[in-house]
Structure 1
Amino acid sequence: MTLDQYRSVADRLLGPWVHAAAKIGLSPDQVSVLAFGAAVAAAGAFAVGEPVFYIAGAVLVLLNGWLDIVDGALARHLEVSSDGGDLLDHVLDRYADIAVIAGFTIGIEAYALGFAAVTGVLMTSYMGTQIQAVGIGREYGGLLGRADRLALMGIVGVVAAVYSAPIVVGLNVVGLLLALFAAVGHLTAVQRFLGAWRDL
């Protein structure tokens, strides 16, 4: 399961956003910063843990995901793609992941589970870049890509706004999301490591 394979479909919907950004003079790096700002705002909303804030957080986290696609498309449109822009985008994506997961964690006060979730997500991303660093190529494989995680965050934000009671072993829908990120994140990191090890 990964939405990243449908990125080409999203690219076809980006035209108006890219042209609007170019028209008002935004650079790809500025769009990346705006995307990060949306993630931080989403984290703050999720940390409050109230229905209306869960809805706001869901909208903001999906905006983060969309702007994260726009920045690359804008760079290609303006023909200003650079290693620096790619580095900034990846760094801000990781900080955005940390912020949003932290917001969910604070909202339900499940700190150990939040720690497991954020380390799982970070190890997944780390393994992808580390595999590239040893010359095998960038690895995007796994059960949940970033697009999947953002979609799930948005969906869970909406669900949590209308139903926040415990579902399984005392965990509500947000707790279950964190548990999923923890389990799948570390499993994906191991999967990527073993695949790369075989290719060395």
Structure 2
Amino acid sequence: MTLDQYRSVANRLLEPFVGAADRLGLSPDGVSVVAFGFAVAAGVAFYLGDPLWYALGGLFVFLNGWLDLVDGALARAQGIASEGGDLLDHVLDRYADIAMLVGLAAGIDSYALGLAAVTGVLMTSYLGTQIQAVGLGRAYGGLVGRADRLALIGVAAFVAAVVPGPVFGLRVVGWLLAFFAVIGHFTALQRFWGAWSDLD
């Protein structure tokens, strides 16, 4: 189900934005920081939790995701891709994930569900980088990658703006967090098992 397999398509769509960022004199690290700012803004919007803020939060999530693609493409276009930039990008991505999920959980006062979702998401990302650390390449596989998460959060935010009440006992955001809690840990274990098999 992962959208990460369409990175090559996304990279072609990014070219006008990368060119514009380069002409404006933006650095890849600067774009990464701006992307993180949109993630924090999304988290705050979700915490405020009324329909208008959910809709704005959804927009901020999509901007975070788009800029997260632009920063890497810009680094490659400028010929300054580096391990330091990659490290900064990964660290900000993890904090961005936390900011958005904590905001979603706080907005519906469901911290236990938020904790389960955050740990599932972080373990998915951790397995991706740890698999790379043992020499098997960066793992983007599994049921739900980061691109999928951002798409789901953005769409769910817009749905929550239209359907603010419970659906089968949980609000839309609650169902989203429950999904991330279950599927996040499942995806992490799926990545682990695939890597473990490759080590044999």
TM class, shorter-length: over 0.9
Unmatched 5+ stretches in structure 2: none
- Per-residue deviation, 1:187: 0.5
C-alpha displacement of 1:194: 1.4
Partner in structure 2 of residue 92 of structure 1? 92
Aligned to 1:180, the other structure's residue is in SS state helix
Q: Does 1:79 align with 2:79?
A: yes
Any residues of structure 2 matched to 1:33-44 within 5 Å, and which?
Answer: 33-44=33-44
Match of 2:12 in 1: 12
> Shift in Å at residue 6 of structure 1?
1.1
Q: Which residue of 1 aligns with 2:108?
A: 108
Cα deviation, 1:29-50, whole Å, max 9, x if unaligned, reads 0000000000000100011000
* 1:42-74 deviations in Å (ceiling 9; x for gaps): 100011000000010000000000000000110
- 1:123 matched to which residue of 2? 123
- The 5 Å alignment of 1:131-146 reads 131-146=131-146
Residue of structure 2 equivalent to 1:59 = 59
* 2:182 maps to 1:178: no
Q: CA deviation at 1:88?
A: 0.5
SS at match of 2:139: coil
Instruction: Tell me which amino acid in the other structure corresponds to 1:196.
Output: A
Kindly state the Cα deviation for residue 193 of structure 1 after the two structures are TM-superposed: 1.2
**Unaligned stretches of 5+ residues in structure 1:** none
- Corresponding residue for residue 26 of structure 1: 26
Q: CA deviation at 1:100?
A: 0.2
Cα RMSD between the aligned structures?
A: 0.8
| Structure 1 residue 183 displacement after superposition | 0.3
TM-score (norm 2): 0.97
The structural deviation recorded for 1:175 is 0.3
Moved more, 84-93 or 10-19: 10-19
Q: In the alignment, residue 185 of structure 1 is paired with which amino acid?
A: G
SS at match of 2:189: helix
Q: Aligned equivalents of 1:71 and 1:106: distance in 2?
A: 29
What TM-score do you get using the length of structure 1 for normalisation? 0.97
Counterpart CA distance in 2 for 1:18 and 1:139 is 25
Shift of residue 164 of structure 1? 1.6
* Letter of the structure 1 residue corresponding to residue 136 of structure 2: I
Q: For residues 102-134 of structure 1, what are the alpha-carbon distances to aligned partners after superposition, in whole Å with 9 as ceiling and x for unaligned?
A: 110011011000000000000001111111112
Percent identity between the aligned chains?
A: 69
Following superposition, the deviation at residue 89 of structure 1 comes to: 0.4
Aligned to 2:147: 147
Cα drift, residue 14 of structure 1: 1.1
What amino acid maps onto 1:79 in structure 2?
A: G
How many residue pairs match? The answer is: 199
How big is the shift at 1:7? 1.4
Give the Cα separation in 1 of the matches to 2:37 and 2:117: 21
